[in-house]
Amino acid sequence: MSRPTGQNPGINNRNSPGKVFLIGAGPGDIELLTLKAVRVLALADVILLDELVNPAVLDFVKESAEIVKVGKRGGRKSTEQDEIHHLMIAFARAGRCVARVKGGDPFIFGRGGEEIEALKQAGIAVEVVSGVTAGIAVPASVGIPLSHRDHAHSVVFVTGHNKPDGEQPNWRALAESGSTLVIYMGLTNLAFIAEKLIESGLSSTTSACVIENGTLAEQRSVVAPLIQLVQKAKELEFRSPAIIVIGEVVGLAGDSEALVPEVAGDSMMVETRR
């Protein structure tokens, strides 16, 4: 059967009562919101908004939509995950079309898997609207191609959020993989991560980069050999949200015309003009 609009047949242009859409809003730049996200946002009766989502997404919702912020920015306490499940289920059971809007992509370190499970268990219809994950768009915004025929044949997304005394990624496998490593939520643990990778055989001079607030006007980044990255990030007082990229491809950063590099010692501070 033909689909002349190219749209997923599950989403029509009418409201979808009692259904939840898990929407990825991309890493920040509002222009990275997908057309599909815009269309579904306009249908929703309730918007559950995560903390890293650009509030400009609200420009696309209907006037009568109820907005519920479930993030912890601005001094508010973060809403517990169970409470978010409860809200989604309660709104959907009340027959409302719910847009659960998350930063980046819902299935990349976004707890989308848990939310789908909770909704399915409750018998609620759910659909995922993929978003552009920070691990792809943020490096791209400073001119880092994650894969490159001459430099990296694979890419690994890693969470840096593990407690040093908790469950760990396989550092040796990562160090030996030759892959570009893209680390989410790793800024606080950067010293530990760098130490583990170097201890596991990754060269301490491997190019590495921290990018803060990627794709947004206030974006900053610093490039340095891995061994120096912690110190540089500390000196420049980098804060979350930040993506860390480690691998040869980082050496290609700065080729983009959008960048204004300022060489400082062994590192390169880059500010993006947007």
Ligand X SMILES: C[S@@+](CC[C@H](N)C(=O)[O-])C[C@H]1O[C@@H](n2cnc3c(N)ncnc32)[C@H](O)[C@@H]1O
Going by C-beta distance under 8 Å and a sequence separation of 6 or more, which residues neighbour residue 234? none
Taking CB atoms within 8 Å and a gap of at least 24, the contacts of 259-267 are: 259/142, 259/143, 266/224, 266/225, 266/228, 267/222, 267/223, 267/224, 267/228, 267/229, 267/232
| Number of neighbouring beta carbons within 10 Å of residue 166 | 7
Binding segment toward ligand X, per CB under 6 A, in 35-43, 100-108, 143-151, 194-202? 100-108
When binding is defined by CB under 6 A, the residue of 45, 105, 193, 228 that contacts ligand X is 105
Binding segment toward ligand X, per CB under 6 A, in 65-73, 103-111, 121-129, 254-262? 103-111
The 135-174 site mask, x for binding ligand X (CB under 6 A), equals ---x------------------------------------
In this complex, which beta carbon is closest to ligand X, that of residue 78 or of residue 204? 78
| 109 binds ligand X per the rule CB under 6 A | yes
| 229 binds ligand X per the rule CB under 6 A | no
When binding is defined by CB under 6 A, the residue of 37, 48, 49, 108 that contacts ligand X is 108
Task: Output the smallest distance, CB 213 to ligand X, in A.
Answer: 5
Q: With helix as H, strand as E and coil as C, how does 174-197 read?
A: HHHCCCEEEEECCCCCHHHHHHHH
Q: Are 108 and 157 in contact (CB under 8 A)?
A: yes
Q: Are 152 and 179 in contact (CB under 8 A)?
A: yes
Q: With helix as H, strand as E and coil as C, how does 53-84 read?
A: CCHHHHHHCCCCCEEEECCCHHHCCCCCHHHH
| 30 binds ligand X per the rule CB under 6 A | no
- Looking at the annotation, which residues are catalytic? 50, 72
| 240 binds ligand X per the rule CB under 6 A | yes
When binding is defined by CB under 6 A, the residue of 25, 47, 61, 104 that contacts ligand X is 104
Binding segment toward ligand X, per CB under 6 A, in 56-64, 89-97, 132-140, 144-152? 132-140
| 227 binds ligand X per the rule CB under 6 A | no
CA 135 to chain CA centroid, Å, is 6
In this complex, which beta carbon is closest to ligand X, that of residue 96 or of residue 109? 109
The count of residues interacting with ligand X (CB under 6 A) is: 24
Query: Considering only CA atoms, which of 136, 67, 62 is closest in space to residue 101?
Result: 67
| 133 binds ligand X per the rule CB under 6 A | yes
Binding segment toward ligand X, per CB under 6 A, in 77-85, 163-171, 173-181, 214-222? 214-222
| 221 binds ligand X per the rule CB under 6 A | no
Burial class (CB in 10 A: 0-12, 13-18, 19+), 167: exposed
The binding site for ligand X (CB under 6 A) comprises: 27-28, 52, 102-105, 108-110, 133-134, 138, 184-185, 211, 213-216, 240-243
